[in-house]
């Protein structure tokens, strides 16, 4: 039983977390409609690991202002509250969300949480190592283009993922708080602008 749990945990971390190498996350990042560029044009993506020399340098960049990934060109700006209230209507189509960066992945800079003025937030996930959001982006206004995606987790996978996230952020986690399957809505980011 412990071996099975460990295997599920490792699979879940690679699938959803900030894993390295091949994972379900990496495999689906290039699905039709997501168009995450492997090598953005020079000077376009100030948050790419290639431009900064390393992920750690990009993660610890002191001035986060700039363009990350592809330019933000979609015209439909969707309020974060609307994404959370009626996510199905925005599923799998290009959208732009705006808000304040309330959290940054402390391990690889591969996700940010964007919050609106009410504190409602949405996670923006980018392909690991292709775009690296710096920790200094926290508290800055951002505009992100991407595609809303739905991730359905079994109770066990949800528990494993939430435990991983809590450990990553240095927070307490009570496994008993997960009482059933979970649905996660997030934006698969292709480009972001962070203000100075």
| Phi, psi for 124 (deg, rounded to 5) | -115, 120
120-138: average pLDDT: 95
64-88: average pLDDT: 93
Reading phi first (left if > 0) and then psi (alpha if -120 to 50, else beta), residue 69 is in left
pLDDT of residue 168: 87
**Do the beta carbons of residue 21 and residue 14 sit within 8 Å?**
yes
pLDDT tens for 157-182 read 999 999 999 998 899 999 999 999 99
pLDDT of residue 28: 33
Dist. CA 73–CA 33, nearest whole Å? 14
pLDDT tens for 13-66 read 434 556 543 333 333 333 323 333 333 332 334 555 444 458 999 999 999 999
pLDDT of residue 172: 94
Enter the tokens of residue 165. 């996230």
pLDDT of residue 76: 78
pLDDT of residue 18: 62
Dist. CA 186–CA 169, nearest whole Å? 18
142-157: average pLDDT: 96
**CATH, domain range 2-194:** 2.40.50.140
- Mean pLDDT taken over the chain: 80
Question: What is the CB-side half-sphere exposure of residue 97 using CA atoms within 13 A?
Answer: 32
The pTM for the full model equals 0.74
CA 182 distance to own-chain centroid: 17
114-136: average pLDDT: 95
Dist. CA 157–CA 181, nearest whole Å? 8
Residues whose CB is less than 8 angstroms from the CB of residue 17 and which lie 6 or more positions away in sequence, other chains included: 25, 161, 164, 165, 168
Dist. CA 116–CA 54, nearest whole Å? 31
Domain ranges of the chain: 2-194
* For helices 2-16 and 155-169, angle between their N-to-C axes, nearest 10 degrees: 70
């Amino acid at each position: 039983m412990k071996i099975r749990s460990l295997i599920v945990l490792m699979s879940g971390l690679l699938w959803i977390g900030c894993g390295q190498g091949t994972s379900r996350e990496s495999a689906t990042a290039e699905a039709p409609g997501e168009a995450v560029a492997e090598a953005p044009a020079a000077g376009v993506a100030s948050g790419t690991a290639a431009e900064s020399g390393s992920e750690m340098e990009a993660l610890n960049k002191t001035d986060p202002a700039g363009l990350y990934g592809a330019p933000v060109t979609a015209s439909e700006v969707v309020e974060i509250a609307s994404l959370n209230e009626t996510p199905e209507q925005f599923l799998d189509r290009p959208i732009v969300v705006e808000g304040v960066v309330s959290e940054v992945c402390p391990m690889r800079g591969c996700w940010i949480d964007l919050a609106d003025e009410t504190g409602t937030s949405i996670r923006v996930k980018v392909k690991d190592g292709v775009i690296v959001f710096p920790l200094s982006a926290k508290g800055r206004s951002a505009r992100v283009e991407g595609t809303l995606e739905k991730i359905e987790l079994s109770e066990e996978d949800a528990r494993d993922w939430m435990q991983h996230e809590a450990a990553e952020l240095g927070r307490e986690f009570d496994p008993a708080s997960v009482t059933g399957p979970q649905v996660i809505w997030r934006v698969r980011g292709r480009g972001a602008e962070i203000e100075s």
